[in-house]
A and B are shown apart, each in its own frame.
Chain A
C-alpha cells in the first residue's frame, strides 16, 4: 500500500510521516500529494490568530471538544517559532490540548525560518489532513504581531483573538491583523476593560463596514479557560462558512489561493533550476565575489545573471 493510500484510510503513522516529508522538503512527498489532491476540498479550515498569550491554544482546545461532541473528525495544526540562532525550538501548544480521541489529530509545526506566522509546509499539510478525512481543520498561528496575516491565504474562516487592555482604540484602526478577521474574539472576558475592548472592536468594524458585500464581523466575548462563549463562537464560525459559501466568497478566494499556491511552487522550481545552472557554469560564484569586492553592484549583477540564464 502506498503512503497516499494509507493516508486516505486515515492511518495516523502514514499521515505523520507524510507531513514530516513535506516539512523536510523530500521530493517523494510531492508524488504522494498528487495522488491525494483529488480527495481534498471537503474540510472547513479555521484559522486562529492573535498575540502571544492571547489564549489561542486554550481556545483551540475548546473548539476541539465542541466539534468532537458534534461528531466531527478534527485536526489541529499548531505553529510555534523556530529559533533564528539555533534552528531548534520548543513547541508547547499541545500543553493546552491534553486530549486523546480517535477522531482527533494534533500536529505541531515549527516556522523553520518562514515568516508570516505560519510554516512553509502549511498548505500541503492541510491537503494531507483534508484527504485523510478530517472535516474541521484548526490552524493556530504563532503568537502574531500586527502584520502576520498569511493565515488568510489558507483558512476559510479567520478568527482574530484579542484580550482586554490591548491598547487604545487607535490599535483597532491600523492595517494588518485587525483587517483580516471574519470573527473577532475578546478572550479573558472576565478581566476588567473587556467591555471597552469589545466596544472598540465594534466601532472598528462599523467604520470598516461589512465585508464581502454583507458580512459584518461579529465581536464575541469568550472565556476560553472555562468555555464561556465557545458554543456561540462555533455557531458564528459555521454561520460565516455558510455565508461565504453561498455568497461566492469561497470560490473567489479559491482562485486567489490557487494563484498563490502556483506562484509559490513556480518560484521555488524556477529558482532551483536557475541556481543549479548558474552554479554549474560558475557564474553565481563569480558574480557574488565581484559584488562582495565592490566591483559590481547587486542590481547590475542580477541583470547580468538573468542574461546568462537566457543564453
Chain B
C-alpha cells in the first residue's frame, strides 16, 4: 500500500446551451465519463454562454462539453469561445455534440472547437478523446 495523498481527477463540464430541452444525450455522456473515472459537473438545461464559462472557471474543469440539438450551435459555440478568451480562460478546450450538420463542422473547428461528436458517435470515442485532451494539457 502506498499512502494516497490525493489523486488528480479529470474534471469535465457537461452543459446544454440555450432553449433546448433534449438532455438524454448529455446525461448519457455525463454518465459514461463518470464511469471512466472522471468528475463530471453537470449543469442541466438552458444555460447561457455566461453561465457555462463562469461554471467552467469556478469548477476548474479540464474540458468543456456542450450538447446542442436545437440548431443554434453556430451562435452558441463561437460565443462560448469568445467569452472564454475574454476571461483569459481560452486554454480550456471545448468539444460539442448533438445534431450538428457535417457542413458546419469545418467552420466550428476553425473557430476553435476542438472536436464535434455528431449523432452516432460512440461513448468510447468521446471518453478517449477527453482523455487525450487532458493529457495534452498536462504535457
User: CB-nearest residue of chain A relative to B5?
Assistant: A25
Interface presence of A91 (CB below 8 A): yes
Does B9 reach chain A (CB closer than 8 Å)? yes
Distance of A214 Cα from B46 Cα, bound (Å): 47
The answer to whether B101 has its CB under 8 Å from any CB of chain A is no
Q: Which of A88, A94, A284 contacts B34 (CB 8 A)?
A: A88
CA distance A86 to B40 in the complex (A): 13
In the assembled complex, A283 has its CB within 8 A of some CB on chain B: no
Contact A90 B40, beta carbon cutoff 8 Å: yes
A88 touches B36 (CB 8 A): yes
A89 and B39 contacting across the interface, CB-CB below 8 Å: yes
B40 touches A89 (CB 8 A): yes
- Which of chain B's residues have a CB closer than 8 A to the CB of A95? 42-44
Count of chain B residues with a beta carbon within 8 Å of a chain A beta carbon: 38
Q: Is B25 in the interface zone, CB < 8 Å from A? A: no
A83 interface residue (CB < 8 Å to B): yes
- The answer to whether residues A92 and B42 also contact, given A106-B58, A107-B58 and a CB cut-off of 8 A, is yes
Structural contact, A98 and B46, CB atoms closer than 8 A:
yes
Q: Does A228 contact B (CB under 8 A)?
A: no
Q: Do A90 and B42 touch across chains, with their CB atoms under 8 A apart?
A: yes
With the chains together, A78 CA to B67 CA distance in Å? Answer: 24
Please tell me if the beta carbons of B5 and A82 are within 8 angstroms of each other in the complex: no
Q: Which residues of A contact B46 (CB under 8 A)?
A: 98
Contact of B60 among A20, A25, A92 (CB under 8 A): A20
Residue B105 at the chain A interface, CB threshold 8 Å: no
Smallest CB separation, A30 vs chain B (Å): 11
CB within 8 Å for A112 and B9 given contacts A16-B58, A91-B42: yes
Residue in B36, B55, B58 whose Cβ sees the most chain A Cβ within 10 Å: B58
List the count of A-B residue pairs having beta carbons below 8 Å apart. 101
Whether B3 sits at the interface, judged by CB under 8 Å, is yes
Residues of B within 8 A of A272 (CB): 3, 5
| A263 CB-CB contact with B under 8 Å | no
* Cα distance, A86 to B50, chains bound together (Å): 32
Given the complex, which residues of B lie within 8 Å of A105, measured CB to CB? 58
Residue B123 CB within 8 A of the other chain: no
Residues in chain B near residue A35, CB distance under 8 A: none
Q: Is A100 an interface residue (CB 8 A)?
A: yes
| Alpha-carbon distance between A24 and B88 when the two chains are bound, in angstroms | 23
Q: How far is the CB of B58 from chain A (nearest CB, A)?
A: 6
Contact B3 A12 (CB under 8 A): no
Does A26 lie at the interface of the complex (its beta carbon under 8 Å from any beta carbon of B)? Answer: yes
CB-defined contacts of A89 to chain B, threshold 8 Å: 34, 39-40
Q: Is the CB of B60 within 8 A of A94?
A: no
CB neighbours of A281 from chain B (8 A)? none
Q: A285 — nearest CB in chain B belongs to which residue?
A: B1
Quick one: which of A23, A87, A91 has the most chain B CB within 10 A? Answer: A91
**Is B120 an interface residue, CB under 8 A from the partner?**
no
| Contact partners of B41 in chain A: CB under 8 A | 91, 94, 108
Closest B-chain residue to A96, C-beta based?
B44
- Interface flags for B62-94 (1: CB within 8 Å of A; 0: not) read 000000000000000000000000011100000
Question: Which residues does chain A contribute within 8 Å of B4, judged by CB atoms?
Answer: 25
Assembly CA distance A112 to B7 (angstroms): 9
Q: How far is the CA of A174 from the CA of B138 in the complex (A)?
A: 49
Q: Is A19 an interface residue, CB under 8 A from the partner? A: yes
Interface-centre pick from B7, B46, B88 (highest chain A CB count, 10 A): B7
- A92-B44, A95-B42 known; A16+B57 contact, CB < 8 A: yes
- What are 26 residue pairs bridging A and B, where the CB atoms are less than 8 Å apart in the complex? A12-B58, A13-B87, A13-B88, A13-B89, A19-B60, A20-B60, A23-B6, A23-B9, A24-B9, A25-B6, A25-B7, A83-B34, A86-B34, A86-B36, A86-B37, A87-B37, A88-B9, A88-B37, A88-B40, A90-B34, A90-B42, A91-B41, A94-B43, A95-B44, A107-B59, A110-B9
15 additional A-B pairs beyond A95-B43, A98-B43, beta carbons within 8 Å, are A12-B58, A13-B88, A20-B11, A24-B6, A24-B8, A25-B5, A88-B33, A88-B34, A88-B35, A98-B47, A100-B48, A105-B58, A112-B7, A279-B2, A284-B1
